[in-house]
Amino acid sequence: MFKRVPLIAFVFILALSLASPSGALAAPGAAPIHLLSGPSVRVCPGPSGPNAADCHARVIPFASKTPVGLTPAQMKAAYGFSTSGDAGAGKTIAIVDAYDLPSAEKDLNVFSSTFGLPACTTANGCFKKVNQTGGTKYPKYNAGWGLEIALDIEWAHAIAPGAKILLVEASSASFTNLLTAEDYAKKNAQYVSNSWGASEFSGETAYDNYFSQSGVAFFVSAGDAGLPAEYPSASPNVISVGGTTLTFNTDGSLKSETGWSSGGGGCSIYETATSAQSSFSTYGQVSCAGKRATPDVSLDADPNSGAAVYDSSRYNGQTGWYQVGGTSLSSPMWAGRAADSGAVVNAAYVYASHIAFRDITAGNNGAPCLVGFDLCSGRGSWTGATP
């Protein structure tokens, strides 16, 4: 096995040297788009039991000493998001994940300094890490969930650099512990991002109340395996966030956004659609017969158009920069963009006319991306700096 490592490293270094799709060069004055191309792997090992969740990050398994994947500036340019350093000011984004990343604060600040973002530290009041009940006795470290944590906190901060980041670490990936962490998060933040889930199960509706708090918006990644729907993505109390693929022109500008083939979605078996969703003009085309349809919305999630993530704790025996995707990327970015708006982004908000959506009409995750609402990308991707 060890004799293969140099060859694998060579292949990915070669991919890095190609910079971007079709050998693309950056637009004048912009940084080059360095996108690796190759197979990705699940970051987490899978649910540890019938009452446990899996994280939804996928990584191209090669660590680099320099950033690989899309930068915050490139991601914001693709969607027209605000480049203001105080976007999201006065708001708090909670990230709920399992286990501990000991280097979380340090890694966040390497990420911030590399990309010219404001520092987010415990000392300046921007960053706070707690266990599932708000204490400082942290869970054990898990390498897979650690990379998930790095992705979540770094990209919530990238999109909303003025917002505070609250990392709530559950003791394990069991639903019992993750929902305990959810309870703490929703009482201490206006936006909560959850990049994890599991297959739907009988009795899941009893847990929907964990994703309900006045004035709080909840975001859940839709999954990385196409159809069917997952939980808690299927809860009517959350915004289910699916995935897309970004491709770029040779000048580094955005060429297209299509549905990611592995983005989660589907009709819930157990949950009923909200009135906002069921009355939406093109909900009927998905044939969910009044059941909850996922995802509601999408953003970039394909690992091959993935984001730069820094993790100095060992993942797969390596440290450094990774190119990471999965709907674990799209969920914290939606939470960050919602914090920038200052609005409570719930179903009523999403299915009204408040958001400028890019309708995703190409691609397939087991269901086709259509004009209007669909099980591939929901309403589409949030674009623009306002509201």
Q: Give the pLDDT score at 5.
A: 39
Q: Give the pLDDT score at 10.
A: 36
Which tokens go with 20? Answer: 């971007």
Q: pLDDT 10s per residue in the chain (387 long)?
A: 333 434 344 344 434 433 433 333 344 335 688 899 999 999 998 776 678 999 999 999 999 999 999 999 999 999 999 999 999 999 999 999 999 999 999 999 999 999 999 999 999 999 999 999 999 999 999 999 999 999 999 999 999 999 999 999 999 999 999 999 999 999 999 999 999 999 999 999 999 999 999 999 999 999 999 999 999 999 999 999 999 999 999 888 999 999 999 999 999 999 999 999 999 999 999 989 999 999 999 999 999 999 999 999 999 999 999 999 999 999 999 999 999 999 999 999 999 999 999 999 999 999 999 999 999 999 999 999 988
Among 87, 81, 68, 76, which residue's Cα sits nearest to residue 17? 68
Taking each helix axis from N to C terminus, what angle separates 143-159 and 327-341, rounded to the nearest 10 degrees? 30
pLDDT score, position 30: 55
Per-residue DSSP letters for 106-140? HHHHHHHHHTTPPP--TTTTSEEEEETTS-S----
Report residue 297 as tokens: 């919305």
Q: Residue ranges of the domains in the chain?
A: 2-382
Residue count of the chain, please give it.
387
Supply the pLDDT for residue 47: 72
- DSSP characters over 184-205: HHHTS-SEEEE-EEEE--TTGG
Task: Identify the burial level of 183 via C-beta atoms within 10 angstroms of its C-beta, where 0-12 means exposed, 13-18 middle and 19 or more buried.
Answer: middle
Q: At what angle do helices 72-79 and 143-159 cross, to 10 degrees?
A: 60
Which helix (H) or strand (E) segment holds residue 153: the answer is helix 143-159
CATH level 3 topology of 2-382: Rossmann fold (3.40.50)
Give the model's pLDDT for residue 28.
39
CA angle 322, 327, 332 (to 5 degrees): 80
